[in-house]
Amino acid sequence: MPEKVLIIIGDATETVDTLYPYYRLIEGGYEPVVAAPEKRLYQMVMHEVRPGWTITKEWEGYQINAAISFSEIDPNDYLGIFFSGGRAPEYIREDADLIRITQHFFDENKPCASVCHGVEIPARADRVRGRRMATVPKCQFDLEICGGTFVNEPCVVDGNLVSGRTFHDHGHYMGAWMKLLDEARAAKGAA
């Protein structure tokens, strides 16, 4: 059976931030498990900063079903975790079960990845302190106020944490995260 990997979402999660890792996980022989506050259908969005706009423009994207709610998750059943971007992290980061799950993955040194606004979840869970991370520049404050160091690069690896700034960086940081997952799977199989 393939190892399971969590993808954390909520309403207004970014479409490309969610679907790119979802399909890369399948390609790598993993079972992506979409997790959210409730087990139901979620509306994703597409985000882009357009010329002439001073804020991010948003369009509706595809919809995606969450296979499991945060309250149902036993993090021991999962090899890694991915924090998708979009507006969702701002709204779901206060969920006590999501904080518990996030802390588990960091504390157990399991492969974690974050893109764009995804940083708001591990920041709220107090797991970015002393860490170097990439994120969308408008989340630099969220990262730094929680003790992290902002790095404006397409791929930042800090131990078990891999991060990118936006969906434009997927081709840069996703391979590094997949490598961590492959190493964790091999180590688990050898144990």
pLDDT recorded at residue 55:
76
pLDDT recorded at residue 99:
98
Residue 163 has pLDDT above 80, yes or no: yes
pLDDT tens digit string along 131-152? 999 999 999 999 999 999 999 9
- Phi, psi dihedral angles at 46 (to 5 degrees): -115, 135
Look up the domain containing 50 and give its range.
4-190
Rg, the chain, Cα only: 15
For this structure, is 117 an active site residue? yes
- What is the distance between the alpha carbons of residues 170 and 173, in angstroms, rounded to a whole number? 6
Q: Provide the CB-side half-sphere exposure for 143 (13 A, CA).
A: 24
What total of structural domains would you count in the chain? Answer: 1
- Report the CATH number at residue 123: 3.40.50.880
Residue 52 has pLDDT above 90, yes or no: no
Q: Supply 117's token pair.
A: 């606004």
pTM confidence score: 0.96
Instruction: Give mean pLDDT, residues 104-121.
Output: 98
Band (pLDDT 50/70/90 cuts) for residue 56 is confident
More confident residue, 57 or 171: 171
Of 159, 153, 156, 89, give the one whose Cα is nearest residue 124.
89
pLDDT recorded at residue 50:
77
**Quick check: 67 and 38 in contact, CB under 8 A?**
no
Residue in 47, 117, 168, 172 annotated catalytic: 117
Instruction: Give mean pLDDT, residues 154-166.
Output: 98
Residue 51 has pLDDT above 90, yes or no: no
